[in-house]
Structure 1
Amino acid sequence: MPAFSLGPERTAWCAELRALAADRLRPLAGKGEPGRVNRPLVAELGRLGLLARLFTSGALDLCLMRESLARVCTEAETALALQGLGAHPVHAHGTPAQRQRWLPAVGEGRAVAAFALSEPGAGSDAAALTLTATPDGSGGWRLTGEKTWISNAPEADFTTVFARTTPGAGARGVTAFLVPAGRPGLTGTPLDMLSPHPIGTLRFDAVPVTPDDVLGEVDAGFRVAMGTLNLFRPSVGAFAVGMAQAALDATVEWTARRDAFGGKLKDLQGVAHQVAEMALRTEAARLMVYAAATAYDSGAPDVPGRAAMAKLLATETAQYVVDTAVQLHGARALQRGHLLEHLYREVRAPRIYEGASEVQRGIVAKELYRSREEGGA
């Protein structure tokens, strides 16, 4: 189903991405160790030029990359997205020296990036973070505390870390730091998750950082974090749309050839209506994702609300579509190694990370009331 906003060139590019994912990326994904960074896969993304595009593409092209890869190889999609999430603050707010040091290495797949915002007591309420940056008396700071649910931790080569530099200032007292691996006092532990992605906890025991490690301005790190999330939230929706489309494609194929009750499964009205509902919701989510990305690229003022809507609708839709696909496939979809068994595990986390669905609803409502107040001023 062609989307309204895609011309022939972008449509062909998406098809090319899917072919590359099948031919070059999926074989490498299958060789990765569960729960570990798949560096050969990251390197191949670099060789294909996809990682470099993270720094030259707009939000719509980022969404198209994530959706196209997700339809074929979720591991490749995730590896690409995590590189972008961890490195985008450097691209957007880094000094010339920081950019020169890290962006070529990320773009070529030689360096792995991470984005460390969440903490044991500050997940959805990101402004409540307590990782403390204490002045060291010589112009730098010492980071003390813990981050958790951090993708690519503890294996990343550098991490964008958000720490509290001004106590009691809420969101206005947070600073973003670029922290290379190997700093004294920095340790980490991997976590064993439902879907075996590289994710872990980072512990900071008076980790030294300098003014040269600051991303953006001191006490302005929350803007760095939210600016990154406003870009990546619609693309999380694109990831979800890609998974939904993969599940829909598999279901159309299966119900068309599965014999049941004297005919094909697709001939049962109840089944046909479920498939139609899957298609309807997937296309609606896709269009909302594209609209949010286009709004970001055009500099529209309502990006936070649109980004939240896109992530919310797409991730909830993907959960419904994949679950329905499992139901229509029956027990075979629960067998280890089946596409839908894989998607069933993959589809759950996007409703939580980068702002849970409940947080997105709060953002949407806040933006509606803000717009009303500004319109009445």
Structure 2
Amino acid sequence: MPAFSLDPPQTAWCAELRTLAAERLRPLAEKGEPGHVNRPLVAELGQLGLIERLFTSGAVDLCLMRESLAYACTEAETALALQGLGAHPVHAYGTPAQRERWLLRVAEGSAVAAFALSEPGAGSDAAALELRAEREASRPGELGGPGESGEPGESPAAPLAAESDGPARWRLTGEKCWISNAPEADFYTVFARTTPGAGARGVTAFLVPADRPGLTGAGLDMLSPHPIGALTFDAVPVTAEDMLGGADRGFRVAMGTLNLFRPSVGAFAVGMARAALDATLAHTAQREAFGGKLKDLQTVAHQVAEMALRTEAARLMVYAAATAYDEGAPDVPKRAAMAKLLATETAQYVVDKAVQLHGARALRSGHLLEHLYREVRAPRVYEGASEVQRGIIAKELYANMEAGQ
């Protein structure tokens, strides 16, 4: 894998994104209500063409966008990323009818998407999810019955298809928890168990509009500027036409999405680390202490050097993983896990050191570092906690050893 460096057009584009984030997106972010979807901010991201670009470019571009926006406006970065996370399964695995109905609205910023995988008892262990998809016979005139328009999804597996002559139908029953953009999203990519006792092989992904009967939600009071909520499914009706990727193949949909977005979580982290590093450079270069500038103290200079070293190492790993994804390399799961792990842990370190070097001023509400200190913690947990990433890395290493690679 070659070393990653930006070419001049990429460098110019990143600078443009940072300017847009500071001048056009930051004011909208500041007007948003914490814990709620900032729809004007999402609409502006659509107007700028950034959401559409999620579906027309590769992992490297996704990382460049997330890093650049995170540097100047973490709220805009997160709004963009959540649109991509929730809608990528539709883009990659959806039917023509599903794409036509939802992707244009997502891209223009008029529909909000959400990725509903985690549950109260199945967060990091996604294969253990318990939301049930219970099969029922279809009845003419109801949701998914004869005469409803739309392209069918992949044919269900034989055990699921044998019960009815009409379109396959299920009722979703159970809960989802820690879902970003819930309960305010317009649709959810929902992962449910269609085959009990089958682990990862018994999960199916469904596209579930928010107005389906039986679907309710409530917000959770979280350390987050965007909404995070719980969803309750009380016999919510879905059909084969709502499937993403086919019956019992939802785990592939989930992992395919996460393999793309995990390196870009690392890019988000790198953007925050670079913002903290630049703030620290400026502060230590002008702050008078102990008869000179802070930067002249060896202990300070060495800490700043360590912050820069770790940030650059994380950045290189993030873009190596993104390049591997774009090139279809076989070791994407390992690289994606390494990138997310190193970058999120690095960002936590860098932001913490930046706060320490700034002193009490960094703890004041509204200070950049006070904001980053709150923002930097969650990425070490979501989309697979750091411990999960270590497990993935080890699993891939041993699998390669056994395969003689």
For the aligned pair, the TM-score class normalised by the smaller chain equals over 0.9
Matches within 5 A, 1:1-377: 4-138=4-138, 139-375=168-404
Provide the C-alpha distance between the structure 2 equivalents of 1:366 and 1:178, rounded to a whole number of angstroms. 31
Q: How far is 1:211 from its partner?
A: 1.0
Provide the C-alpha distance between the structure 2 equivalents of 1:269 and 1:156, rounded to a whole number of angstroms. 50
Q: How far is 1:312 from its partner?
A: 0.1
Q: How far is 1:268 from its partner?
A: 0.4
Q: What residue identity is the alignment partner of 2:126?
A: A
Q: How far is 1:181 from its partner?
A: 0.9
* Partner SS state of residue 104, structure 2: helix
* Partner SS state of residue 333, structure 2: helix
* Partner SS state of residue 100, structure 1: helix
Q: What residue identity is the alignment partner of 1:158?
A: F
Q: Which runs of 5+ in 2 are unaligned?
A: 139-167
Q: How far is 1:137 from its partner?
A: 1.4
Q: Does the CA contact (< 8 Å) of 2:334 and 2:392 recur in 1?
A: yes
- TM-score normalised according to structure 1 size: 0.98
Q: How far is 1:196 from its partner?
A: 2.9
* Partner SS state of residue 119, structure 2: coil
* Partner SS state of residue 110, structure 2: coil
Provide the C-alpha distance between the structure 2 equivalents of 1:168 and 1:365, rounded to a whole number of angstroms. 25
Q: Which runs of 5+ in 1 are unaligned?
A: none
Q: How far is 1:145 from its partner?
A: 0.3
Corresponding pairs, count: 374
Q: How far is 1:194 from its partner?
A: 1.6
Provide the C-alpha distance between the structure 1 equivalents of 2:224 and 2:383, rounded to a whole number of angstroms. 17
Provide the C-alpha distance between the structure 1 equivalents of 2:401 and 2:289, rounded to a whole number of angstroms. 54
Q: How far is 1:75 from its partner?
A: 0.1
Deviations 1:7-55 (A, max 9, x none): 0011111001001101110000000000000000000000000000000
* Partner SS state of residue 179, structure 2: strand
Q: State the identity %.
A: 84
Moved over 3 A (4+): none
Provide the C-alpha distance between the structure 2 equivalents of 1:195 and 1:323, rounded to a whole number of angstroms. 18
* Partner SS state of residue 223, structure 2: coil
Provide the C-alpha distance between the structure 2 equivalents of 1:102 and 1:197, rounded to a whole number of angstroms. 21
Q: Does the CA contact (< 8 Å) of 2:82 and 2:180 recur in 1?
A: yes
Rg: which structure is higher?
2
Provide the C-alpha distance between the structure 1 equivalents of 2:206 and 2:11, rounded to a whole number of angstroms. 38
Q: What residue identity is the alignment partner of 2:72?
A: V
Deviations 1:206-236 (A, max 9, x none): 0000111001110000000000000000000
CA RMSD of aligned residues (A): 0.8
Provide the C-alpha distance between the structure 1 equivalents of 2:224 and 2:58, rounded to a whole number of angstroms. 29
Provide the C-alpha distance between the structure 2 equivalents of 1:334 and 1:165, rounded to a whole number of angstroms. 48
Q: Does the CA contact (< 8 Å) of 2:337 and 2:390 recur in 1?
A: yes
